[in-house]
A and B are shown apart, each in its own frame.
Chain A
Amino acid sequence: MAGAAVLGRLTWRVSTVTSVRDETATARTIALKIPGWPGHRAGQHVDVRLTSADGYSAQRSYSIASAPDGGQVELTVQRLPDGEVSPYLAQVLDAGDLLELRGPIGGWFVWEPAPAPVLLIAGGSGVVPLMAMIRARAATGTHSPFRLVYSVRAPGDAFYAAELAERQRGDDGLHVAYVYTRTTPPGWPVPPGRIGAGQLTAPGWTPDRSPAVFVCGPTGFVETAANLLVNAGHDPRMIKTERFGPSGGQS
């Protein structure tokens, strides 16, 4: 059984793009239908493979943004200015196109529905797997307290802003706090700046409540946030991290 499951994850599948939608000026969500998809857990990712006519191929990993939903999977891809794969996915790929992928991958950075509180810390496009957790919480009717601290350069860079606002309405258990590093919305109470200790704590979110913590973002951001959390008294064993991109970067 386990062997068959592993083979399934390693098998390249041909999915069909069912729709695309822009999240920001530089990021797009791609909805896929994947025949034979075994399902996934919130936080997992897939490998995507592009192949040119002469046989050259490139692979990248992308987090799944959607809650588990049969053979439907959504990815959100941030276009990197110098990227080899992401510009194609975020600008060219369209509904009806085929896309090769395999997965789901990852057994560590995942959230399973449970009553314990969950603290999510996102830097830039690191919000994607955390959004899958927020969506899975709603989809399963789980009432565990969730708090998302989401660091973006400017308001226009935030993924899922309208959906997050909508989900917060009428849900006392979900709280979203933004950190703006370059540009704030008009009238924002604090100037733009990097994430700090003050933004990682909130009433009811002290380390003694032992929330499960998921941190995802560029390497520099994750390092900063994880250190702040440990310094604040969070048990390092309760903090799971997912880092991407070159070291030193920070969203």
Chain B
Amino acid sequence: MGVVTPGWTGRRRPGGERLPPGQYLVTDFPVLSAGPTPRVDLASWEFRVTTETGQARSWDWASFRALPTERITVDLHCVTKWSKLRTPWRGVSVDALLAQVETSAGFALARSYGGYTTNLPVAICSAARPGSRSSTTARRSEPSTAVPRGSWCRTCTCGSRPSG
């Protein structure tokens, strides 16, 4: 426990019992982008998986959209302190994508349009691992003031989606 702040009691908001310590509740969708919203031509958009041996598999927009999608609803807890409860997602399971390549890599480097990268354990990307249930990516949306990102996984690592 930290130093007590004299005279401050805080305000536990409705739903706050589901919040981890230090998180605050949002109902909107904060946008976290390091630069202008990328403008990506759907005709040249691709989603690519490259393995540790260099094997690559890619999908263009049409073939990506042809993949089976699933819907999940999860609580989103972002490292920048906001939490958004019962957030619905629709997308393609990362497992469905990884099933198309041979890999035993322990870690993945995710790279988005706009140049943002992040790395994380493959196990977190994958829904196949017990205890990890959400793993979706990429759905289409116009760039706007409220662009919810295509989520890679429930750790709130976000990638950009194509605009069209």
Contact = CB atoms under 8 A, between A and B. Distances in A.
Contacts of B51: none
Contacts of A59: 22, 24, 81
A245 B31 CA distance: 9
A61 B78 CA distance: 13
B30 A246 contact: yes
Contact of A57 (B22, B36, B37): B22
A206 interface: no
A108 B9 contact: no
A247 B31 contact: yes
Contact of B115 (A51, A219, A220, A237): A237
A56 interface: yes
A84 B9 CA distance: 9
Contacts of A14: 3
Contacts of B33: 241, 243
Contact of A247 (B2, B22, B28, B114): B28
B157 to A, nearest CB: 16
B11 A246 contact: no
Nearest to A218: B145
Contacts, number: 107
A44 to B, nearest CB: 14
Nearest to A50: B5
A12 interface: yes
Interface in A108-128: 108-109
Contact of A52 (B8, B32, B114): B8
Interface string B1-23: 11111111111110000000110
A7 to B, nearest CB: 17
Chain A interface: which size bin? Answer: 35 or more
Interface string A48-89: 011111011111110000000000000000000000100010
B30 A247 contact: yes
Contact of A58 (B10, B26, B36): B10
Interface in A211-251: 219-220, 223-224, 226-227, 229-230, 236-237, 239-241, 243, 245-248
B38 A236 contact: yes
B22 A92 contact: no
B54 interface: no
B28 A50 contact: no
B132 to A, nearest CB: 25
B36 A229 contact: yes
A49 B114 CA distance: 32
A79 B144 CA distance: 27
B99 interface: no
A58 B37 contact: no
A188 to B, nearest CB: 27
Contacts of B43: none
A100 interface: yes
A58 B24 contact: yes
Interface string A26-52: 000000000000000000000101111
A227 B3 contact: no
A51 B1 contact: yes
A55 B38 CA distance: 42
B29 interface: yes
Nearest to A83: B11
B39 interface: yes
A92 B9 CA distance: 12
Contact of B10 (A50, A61, A237, A246): A50
B28 A57 contact: no
A98 interface: yes
Nearest to B26: A246
A66 B35 CA distance: 24
Q: Top 10 nearest A-B pairs by Cβ distance?
A: A247-B146, A226-B36, A246-B28, A51-B2, A59-B22, A50-B5, A220-B145, A236-B36, A84-B11, A223-B145
5 contacts: A51-B1, A52-B5, A84-B10, A100-B3, A223-B145
